[in-house]
Amino acid sequence: MGFRFIPVISVVLTLLVSGTVNAAGAIKIGALFAVTGPAAFLGEPERNTAQMVVDEINRAGGVRGHKLELIVYDTAGDATKAVQLATKLVKNDHVAAIIGPSTTGESMAVIPVVEKDQVPLISCAAGIKITDPVKKWVFKTAQNDSLAVARIYEQLQRQRLTRVALLTVSDGFGSSGREQLKAQAARHGITIVSDDTYGPKDTDMTAQLTKIRGSHVQAVICWGTNPGPAVIAKNARQLGLKIPIYMSHGVSSKKFIDLAGEAAEGIRLPSGKVLVADLLPNSDPQKRSLMAFVRDYQKHYRAEGDHFGGHAWDAVMLLKGAIERGADTPAAIRDQLERTRQFHGIGGTFTYSAHDHAGLGKDAFVLVEVKNRDWVIVK
């Protein structure tokens, strides 16, 4: 008789020790977002979206009878703070999983924490190094910068533009993008004539652009997140630079157009489909999720749901799927995330595996262009 109860007691003790499911039956989800600071344009919509989706899930009864408890901390975009808060989520809050951080640098910094304590992390940042090589406890929802680079280079090939200048921000996102831009150039027939950088807090890039103007390049590729790329767009217009300018997916929101103003006109970049959701054919497998997200965000926040909020939408929904399949502990959630197949989200259609924790292909991106202060799809 006593032996029969040992497995039950063991399970109860496991739940009590892990803290994953509290007395009310809630599953705790941690979130690290740059809600304030220079990367707030990423973190604020991510925080808003995550809370919106969790609230909707809970109003509908939760997941398998469990409510989700979202615990959000603001990293302010600081990697050191992100590590401290990740440790707090694991040690003090006993979360079952963490979504975020917002940036590549922060994500790389917290990886040792989640790997050591064996808590699944779904990063909302784009750097390929976050999941390549594969790390057992780390996944991501933002499209890899390697895919974004390929999308730009393929477009340049079609236009027979082969001589380019790079202007990348000197942070984790910019460094990762620069590596991919250099690594993929030769296979796409691209020659990098000029390779320059700018600082995350720089407010004038006239010197770099003047150098580019004299280098006889056919296109400029800027890799960074706001506000730097908007400054570059304005400086390029002031200098009368007439060649095509491509930006990274790091500025794929209306915020870039607001910051750059008229200088945004004609600028192209690879983006998740959410920016042009209403322009997609009904046959697109993502359209239903995209339109639901756009409508919900508009209803809750009186603003357009964007590419960055979409990363958090995907992260919460991926966790919901894992829990629906029976997972409620960190290890079980990790295993079920890895078994995700053909999830049509905001950032793309995700299929994870033991060899791929990024889960997306090139079809996650469309090439968009600014026309009349709005985004259109480049045909």
Q: Does one domain contain both 24 and 96?
A: yes
Checking if the pLDDT of 2 tops 50, the result is no
Q: Does one domain contain both 94 and 160?
A: no
Check residue 305 and report its DSSP letter: -
Residues 6+ apart with CB under 8 A from 156: 162, 164, 188, 190, 219, 246
Residue 373 lies in a domain: no
**Under 8 Å between Cβ of 142 and 124:** yes
What is the H or E stretch that residue 197 is in? Answer: strand 191-198
Query: What's the pLDDT at 4?
Result: 35
Q: Does one domain contain both 221 and 252?
A: yes
Give the domain extent around 239: 146-271
For residue 185, give the CATH number of its domain. 3.40.50.2300
Q: Does one domain contain both 135 and 183?
A: no
Q: Does one domain contain both 256 and 175?
A: yes
Query: What's the pLDDT at 17?
Result: 38
Q: Does one domain contain both 136 and 182?
A: no
- Give me 130's structure tokens: 């976050």
Checking if the pLDDT of 44 tops 70, the result is yes
**Under 8 Å between Cβ of 218 and 164:** yes
d(C-alpha 321, C-alpha 337), whole Å: 8
Domain count, the chain: 2
Tell me the pLDDT band of 8, cut-offs 50, 70 and 90. very low
d(C-alpha 158, C-alpha 364), whole Å: 20
* Tally of CA atoms within 13 A in the half-sphere of 338 that contains its CB: 17
- CA nearest to 149, candidates 46, 218, 265, 248: 248
Checking if the pLDDT of 266 tops 70, the result is yes
The backbone torsions φ and ψ at residue 293, rounded to the nearest 5 degrees and listed phi first, read -65, -50
Judge residue 172's burial from the number of C-beta atoms within 10 Å of its C-beta, 0-12 exposed, 13-18 middle, 19 or more buried. buried
Q: Does one domain contain both 333 and 232?
A: no
Q: Does one domain contain both 16 and 138?
A: yes
Checking if the pLDDT of 19 tops 80, the result is no
- Give me 245's structure tokens: 């300018």
Query: What's the pLDDT at 25?
Result: 86
Query: What's the pLDDT at 338?
Result: 98
CA dihedral 145, 149, 150, 151 (to 10 degrees): 100
Query: Model confidence over 132-155: pLDDT tens digits?
Result: 999 999 999 999 999 999 999 999
Residue 281 lies in a domain: no
Average pLDDT, rounded, for the chain: 93
Residue 371 lies in a domain: no
Residue 211 lies in a domain: yes
**Under 8 Å between Cβ of 124 and 44:** no
What is the H or E stretch that residue 221 is in? Answer: strand 219-223
Residue 21 lies in a domain: yes
Length of the chain counted residue by residue: 379
Type of residue at 83: V
Query: What's the pLDDT at 53?
Result: 98
Percentage of the chain exceeding pLDDT 70: 94
Provide the pairing of β-strand 219-223 with 163-169: parallel
Query: What's the pLDDT at 7?
Result: 37
Query: What's the pLDDT at 18?
Result: 42
- Give me 366's structure tokens: 């469309």
Residue 155 lies in a domain: yes
Rg (CA), the chain: 21
Query: Model confidence over 294-308: pLDDT tens digits?
Result: 999 999 999 988 989
- CA nearest to 192, candidates 184, 203, 202, 201: 184
Percentage of the chain exceeding pLDDT 90: 91
Tell me the pLDDT band of 379, cut-offs 50, 70 and 90. confident
Residue 230 lies in a domain: yes
d(C-alpha 274, C-alpha 348), whole Å: 10
Query: What's the pLDDT at 203?
Result: 96
Q: Could you give the residue ranges of the DSSP H alpha helices within the chain?
A: 2-18, 40-59, 79-91, 104-117, 145-158, 172-185, 206-213, 228-238, 254-260, 287-301, 307-324, 330-338
Q: In the predicted model, what is the mean pLDDT of residues 348-366?
A: 96
Q: Does one domain contain both 166 and 64?
A: no
Q: Does one domain contain both 24 and 98?
A: yes
**Under 8 Å between Cβ of 103 and 172:** yes
Q: Which of 242, 271, 300 is the last residue of a domain?
A: 271
Query: Model confidence over 210-252: pLDDT tens digits?
Result: 999 999 999 999 999 999 999 999 999 999 999 999 999 999 9
Q: Does one domain contain both 139 and 150?
A: no
Q: Which of 271, 302, 335 is the last residue of a domain?
A: 271
Stated pTM of the model: 0.88
Q: Does one domain contain both 32 and 123?
A: yes
Residue 374 lies in a domain: no
Query: What's the pLDDT at 113?
Result: 98
